[in-house]
């Protein structure tokens, strides 16, 4: 069942906007808007309007719109004057109240809310091929990347049982916490993010880099596959500026591109992030970026208070 909410910016003339399994089309008349929702039959949606992205008002007389067997629901609602507004369809299905970024994680992951935390359970196995699967595994793919110095390390990908507990409402920490060796966050495909160091004693990654596979990942000695660098399987599929995961403090992580430019660490603060609008948070949120230069993902401390990751 579809669990997205989505935000549509309507700057007349209309911009149509689609997400995975629901599509909201709007046609503006003088004082009304025709809504056309296309999606999974049985899905239930509330359409909301905002002029400032802060206050959202339900359209269609507060009624949820159920998508019939045909997969298309159409209705006309009165909106007063049709000035510049934002519209979003919010799932009215029970149990679909996860924040938008968590709805973008792979369906194979177990994700739920537990009090003030989002819990994510993952096997940490990448959803893309790698030379770090065993040769007999169908997901094995010999190295075909661009690094002439690539040398495979002796470790192989192993299925893990990893549980993340991440603050659902991230806020800046008064006292910042150092990142650690091991997982500091999770990508949308369930793979761990690691910081800019190699063990022990926070060595630079210099020698590790040559063992990164064609998707910038590699496994450590207990088979935990991880990314220190931009997860290029994800940004290759979704765009270099796309949402790629969250750090343990709950703040989102994006690829290096923003507004058509490739960011470097100079564009970011000491934690390797900044405040600003993102596609999932048009109202603005603190967020991290991967960059091609050091420290790649995080400056050594979390901006917020980290949750936990246990095996």
Residues that bind Zn ion (CB under 5 A): 258, 276
CB-nearer residue toward Zn ion: 68 or 284: 284
**Smallest separation, CB 129 to Zn ion (Å):** 19
The CB-of-270 to Zn ion minimum distance in angstroms stands at 15
Q: In this structure, what token pair is assigned to residue 288?
A: 């991290």
Distance separating alpha carbons of residues 191 and 107, to the nearest angstrom: 13
Most distant CA atoms of the chain, gap in Å: 67
User: CB of 152 within 8 A of CB of 132?
Assistant: yes
Which residue number, 108 or 222, has a Cβ lying nearer to Zn ion? Answer: 222
63 or 210: CB nearest Zn ion: 210
DSSP 82: -
CB of 292 to Zn ion, least distance (A): 15
Least Å from the CB of residue 208 to Zn ion: 5
Could you tell me the smallest distance in angstroms from the CB atom of residue 203 to Zn ion? 11
- When the beta carbons of 73 and 100 are compared against Zn ion, the nearer one is 100
Q: How far apart are CA 124 and CA 192, in angstroms?
A: 7
Give the torsion sign (CA, 308, 117, 4, 247): negative
Supply the minimum distance, in Å, between the C-beta of residue 224 and Zn ion: 9
All residues at 6 or more sequence positions from 100 whose CB lies less than 8 Å from its CB, including other chains: 4, 5, 280
Which C-beta is closer to Zn ion: that of 16 or that of 294? 294
Closer CB to Zn ion, 45 or 286, in the complex: 286
DSSP code string of 222-270: T--EEESS--HHHHHHH-TTSEEEEETTS-EEE-SEETTEE--GGGS-T
């Amino acid at each position: 069942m579809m669990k997205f909410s989505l935000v549509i910016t309507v700057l007349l003339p209309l911009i149509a906007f689609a997400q995975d399994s629901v599509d909201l089309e709007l046609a503006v008349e003088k004082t009304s808007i025709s809504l056309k929702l296309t999606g999974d039959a049985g899905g239930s949606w509330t359409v909301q309007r905002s002029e400032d992205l802060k206050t959202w008002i339900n359209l269609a007389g507060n009624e949820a719109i159920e998508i019939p067997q045909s997969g298309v629901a159409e209705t006309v609602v009165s909106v007063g004057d049709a000035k510049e507004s934002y519209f979003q369809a919010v799932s009215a299905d029970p149990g679909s109240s996860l924040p938008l970024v968590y709805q973008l994680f792979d369906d194979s992951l177990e994700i739920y809310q537990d009090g003030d935390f989002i819990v994510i359970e993952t096997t940490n196995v990448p959803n893309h091929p790698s030379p770090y699967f065993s040769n007999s595994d169908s997901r094995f793919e010999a190295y075909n990347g661009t690094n002439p110095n690539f040398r495979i390390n002796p470790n192989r990908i192993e299925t893990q049982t990893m549980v993340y507990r991440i603050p659902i409402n991230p806020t800046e920490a008064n006292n910042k916490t150092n990142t650690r060796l091991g997982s500091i966050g999770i990508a949308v495909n369930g793979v761990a993010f690691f910081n800019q160091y190699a063990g022990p004693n926070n060595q630079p990654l210099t020698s590790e880099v040559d063992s990164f596979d064609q998707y910038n990942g590699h496994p450590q000695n207990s088979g935990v596959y991880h990314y220190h660098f931009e997860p290029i399987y994800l940004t290759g599929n979704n765009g270099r500026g796309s949402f790629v995961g969250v750090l343990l403090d709950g703040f989102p992580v994006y690829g290096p591109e923003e507004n058509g430019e490739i960011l470097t660490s100079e564009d970011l603060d000491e934690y390797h992030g900044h405040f600003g609008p993102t596609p999932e948070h048009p109202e603005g949120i603190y967020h991290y970026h991967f960059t091609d230069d050091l420290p790649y993902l995080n400056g050594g401390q979390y901006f917020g208070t980290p949750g936990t990751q246990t095996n």
